Amino acid sequence: MERIADGLQLLRGTPRHAFNVYLADGYVVDAATRWARRRIIRQLAGERLAGHVITHAHADHQGASAALARELGLPILAGHADADAIASGDLRDRAPVNPLTRWQLRNWAGPAAPVATRLREGDRVGSFTVLETPGHAPGLISLWRESDRTLIAADVLFGQHPVTSRPGLHEPPARFTLDPALNRTQIRRLAALEPAVVCFGHGPPSRDPTALTRFAAGLPD
Ligand SMILES: [Zn+2]
């Protein structure tokens, strides 16, 4: 695992940073696709675990969630607006319907997973605070720690180009984003926090606060 900040680590994956899974104060944050179960469980061996947070109900974030919850005995925490989709395993209305998202549902999504805690704005996850940041998905949450300005932004922003994987800030692709305009308001909100480090669902962590400020300022309405 790669250390990002106090109590925050990024699990290894192949390709690197394609589907990020974090360990934050004992909480496993996201679970990539259903093919990631073994690589996640292997890297968590010996760790003291508290629960499993799913940032949003997309197939590349909840794929291995049911297996993790079952095999590691972890309670699942998720944003209240995506909790029913995660609990039922029916993710169809969480993203635009197109051939790509249909392919992802068929090939990446995991089965229904029980949600123990429905998170709301201001709830605590370890030393992090929950921010409700809907747009990319209706129930998407980010995790923010003011003390060292560490942000887990999930898919509000991509940390790499969605096709070339080159590091850099991007809006999540519209074909995977239910409400791009609403998501842009969340990008502005997160940029206004002036995070020192930003962690993404996809792409390497960014430690350049001015880049985020510039990016947010250049967005269309
Ligand atoms: Zn994603």
According to the model, what pLDDT value does residue 81 have? 98
CATH number 3.60.15.10 is the correct assignment for the domain at 2-217? yes
Please say whether the dihedral angle defined by the alpha carbons of residues 32, 69, 120 and 195, taken in this order, is positive or negative: negative
| C-alpha 110 – ligand 1 centre gap (Å) | 14
Cα–Cα separations (whole angstroms), residue 21 to 68, 82, 139: 12, 18, 18
220 vs 120 pLDDT, higher one: 120
Q: Looking at the predicted structure, is the pLDDT value of residue 45 above 80?
A: yes
According to the model, what pLDDT value does residue 29 have? 98
| C-alpha 136 – ligand 1 centre gap (Å) | 9
- pLDDT single digits (tens) 102-148: 999 999 999 999 999 999 999 999 999 999 999 999 999 999 999 99
| C-alpha 196 – ligand 1 centre gap (Å) | 22
Cβ-contact 31, 74 below 8 angstroms: no
- Return d(Cα 143, Cα 178) in angstroms, integer: 20
As a whole number, mean pLDDT of residues 82-90 equals 98
| C-alpha 158 – ligand 1 centre gap (Å) | 8
As a whole number, mean pLDDT of residues 66-72 equals 97
Domain segments of the chain as ranges: 2-217
| C-alpha 159 – ligand 1 centre gap (Å) | 11
Overall pTM > 0.95: yes
According to the model, what pLDDT value does residue 209 have? 85
According to the model, what pLDDT value does residue 14 have? 87
Q: How confident is the model at residue 221 (pLDDT cuts 50, 70, 90)?
A: confident
Q: What would the two tokens of residue 85 be?
A: 């989709």
As a whole number, mean pLDDT of residues 19-34 equals 98
| C-alpha 64 – ligand 1 centre gap (Å) | 13
| C-alpha 62 – ligand 1 centre gap (Å) | 10
| C-alpha 214 – ligand 1 centre gap (Å) | 23
Percent of the chain with pLDDT strictly greater than 90? 97
Residue whose token pair is 């993404």: 200
| C-alpha 170 – ligand 1 centre gap (Å) | 13
